Copies of this chain bind each other. A is one copy, B any other.
Amino acid sequence: MARMVGIKDVAQRAGVSVGTVSNVINRPGTVAEATRERVQAAIEELGYVRSESARQLRAGQSRIIALLVLDMANPFFVDLATGAERAAREAGLGVMLCNSAQDPEEEAEYLGLFAEQRVRGVLVTPADPEGHTLRAFARHGIPYVFVDRTAAGTDACSVSVDDVEGGALAARHLLGAGHRSIVYVGGPAHLPQIEDRRTGALAAVAEAGLPPDALVRVDTERLDVASGRDAGARLLGMSPRPSAVFCANDLLALGVLQTLFAAGVSVPDDIALVGYDDIEFAAAAAVPLTSVRQPAQRMGRMAAELLIEETDGTGQEGHAHRHIVLRPELVVRASSLPPRRHP
């Protein structure tokens, strides 16, 4: 690999000083036309690309923001990332996308990496239930924003969706269709998202005048399709067999659906099924899935915008942390059509 051409090479080639080359790049207005063109030509000819690390070293911070999500295999987070990336792009920032896979250790490792990189800021869906890693990270002075997780009381902004409300929407829908008992499939329980959705469902159950145990809990290890299949098998073993199932997540719901289908149990005729997130595959399932839609892309975008606002440095500490809570929306599809409509 030939030695990288630097700003000095360009300067020499164009017969100017390095300062002038820098000006051509960063403040073209301050350079005389002729000089500017000469320098531009030199840049082209040499194929000069400025070194981001040098630039960064001087500036003290980088031009990228980090996004640390719980599960990249979940299209919900991919959507979220897309929104964040767009907003960042508009602000001239890059996004470093990372996957903690719900592992606090991975999370800590990535946060360390971000600190070394002196990233402009971090968007994070925390995996560590205790919040140790983030608290340790905070001392570096790098701002961060919680995504898909409220952070009231924390020294940070947050953008989340009202999971309690979402859980209530799903449960109300099922109860409204005549079901007297609902199974809630989700886990691990230490994730607030999972707990909140359950809380919402519980509230809906109470509203309907039913006892709390009308909401039966089936815990899962993870939030993926495989866990869903596993949960589906457990559902089949229950007696009496449930008539309504609410999954904390569409991946789980798809897994459940698959198991039920394989066992010849009809959805929605035998069991009504509701998921959460409304990922694209929910609609594409052959029994299209009723789901609670979260504005994932918007959430990503807003989180990035909050972070950018916090870090743009124009105002001196004129930043007050905000906690934005978006509203979920129920999308009804075939998987939960009321049993009484059975042909």
Contacts and interface: CB of A to CB of B under 8 A. Distances in A.
A237 B81 CA distance: 37
Contacts of A62: 53
Given A72-B81, A225-B280, A51 B118 contact: yes
Nearest to A261: B286
B283 A140 contact: no
A228 to B, nearest CB: 8
A32 interface: no
A330 B144 CA distance: 45
User: How many copies of this chain does the complex contain?
Assistant: 2
Contacts of A81: 72
> Interface size bucket, A side?
35 or more
Contact of A4 (B73, B118, B286): B118
Given A72-B78, A258-B283, A281-B254, A50 B116 contact: yes
Interface string A217-260: 00000000100100000000000000000000000001101100
A34 interface: no
A258 B281 CA distance: 10
A287 interface: yes
Given A118-B4, A281-B254, A57 B60 contact: no
Given A1-B142, A51-B118, A94-B113, 5 more contacts: A49-B140, A72-B78, A254-B281, A257-B284, A286-B287
Interface of A: 1-2, 4, 47, 49-54, 56-57, 60, 62, 72-73, 75, 78-79, 81-82, 85, 94, 96-99, 112-113, 115-118, 139-143, 225, 228, 254-255, 257-258, 261, 267, 280-281, 283-288
12 contacts: A1-B142, A1-B143, A49-B116, A49-B140, A51-B118, A53-B56, A73-B79, A73-B280, A75-B75, A94-B113, A255-B284, A281-B284
